[in-house]
Amino acid sequence: MLKRNPTAPLLLRHFTAGILTAWLSVNQTIAAQEAEFEQDRLSLPLTFDTAIPEISNSRSGLEPEEIDRAVLNRLMQEIVSAPQRTASITGLEAETLEKIFISLSNARNFINIDEMQNVKAMCDTWNHSDFQGDARIREALKAHAERRQHTLTFIEGFYRNILTEIESLLSTAEKPRFSHYMNDRRRRMADAGIPSRNMNPNDLTRGAEAIHFYCRNNRTNTG
């Protein structure tokens, strides 16, 4: 179980709690009309009684390890920007959404995907390599890929724990709806074609350009 981050901005928590609580006082007729409008406008249904197609990796720019993180970060943004819409889609209570927001906010503050550490691994390998030419480029790109995969594996495990915590906050009625929401969002995020920061170790041309750009202390003889 994650502990609340004592450094999380108190005003943000109060602001979010206020947003999530305010919509409970909205007139029921207006709320019903808005929900009906959202159902027509969104491709994601408000009732989860249809099967979700399998995730297609053919158009995905994100790595599989990145998808849950992207989905949950998007959920956190939606809780703040459109709490009533998010509640209608997920079927979660305002109090549950507030708890989820706090967990996701703490997670986002905790984890830091430092791409420059991946670049540093690439440049260190490049600067100390005994290879020349394409072999040297491949070695540097491999170092970047290995360092990045280490980060992705950590991210995947970290957000798996976040999901476990979120599921512990849900009621029996909320769990299947949230599960369906996550599966639907995973598919949509995977098919959205959002670009990943991964470097293709087999693309020597772009790899050489990246090395030339990032690795300032490269040897005079680059092969």
Q: Determine contact, residues 107/158, Cβ cutoff 8 Å.
A: yes
- What's the farthest any 2 CA atoms get from each other in the chain? 74
Residue 191: predicted pLDDT: 82
Q: How many CB atoms lie within 10 A of CB 217?
A: 8
Domain that holds residue 159: 10-45+59-214
- Cα angle 165, 193, 214 (rounded to 5 degrees) comes to 90
Note whether residue 1 is domain-resident: no
Rounded-to-integer distance, Cα 124 and Cα 142, Å: 12
Number of domains in the chain: 1
Domain for residue 71, yes or no?
yes
Mean pLDDT of 47-63: 50
DSSP state of 172: T
Averaged pLDDT for residues 188-203? 77
Torsion over CA: 167, 172, 176, 177 (sign): negative
Query: Do the domain assignments include residue 222?
Result: no
Report which of 105, 107, 137 is spatially closest to residue 122, judged by C-alpha positions. Answer: 137
Query: Is position 52 within any domain?
Result: no
pLDDT for residue 193 = 64
Q: State the pTM of this model.
A: 0.67
Residue pair 16/77 in contact by the 8 Å Cβ criterion: no
- Give the Cα separation of 126 and 132 in Å (integer): 10
Q: What is the mean pLDDT of the chain?
A: 76
In a domain, 5, yes or no: no
What is d(CA 190, CA 64) in angstroms, rounded to the nearest whole number?
8
Give the phi and the psi of residue 8 in degrees, each rounded to 5. Answer: -60, 135
Residue 148 clears pLDDT 80, i.e. is over it? yes
Q: Which of 43, 60, 99 is nearest to 76 (CA)?
A: 99
Q: What is the pLDDT of residue 21?
A: 47
Top pLDDT among 11 and 157 is at: 157
For the residues 166-178, what does the mean pLDDT come to?
Answer: 95
Contact 170, 103 (CB under 8 A): no
What does the angle CA 171 – CA 13 – CA 93 come to, to the nearest 5 degrees? 25
Asked whether residue 2 is domain-assigned, the answer is no
Return the residue matching tokens 């909320």. 174
Cα angle at 80 between 116 and 95, to 5 degrees? 120
Nearest to 81 by CA among 99, 69, 97, 57: 97
Does some domain include residue 54?
no
Is residue 177 assigned to a domain? yes
User: Would you state the structure tokens that stand for residue 60, as one six-digit string?
Assistant: 């995905």
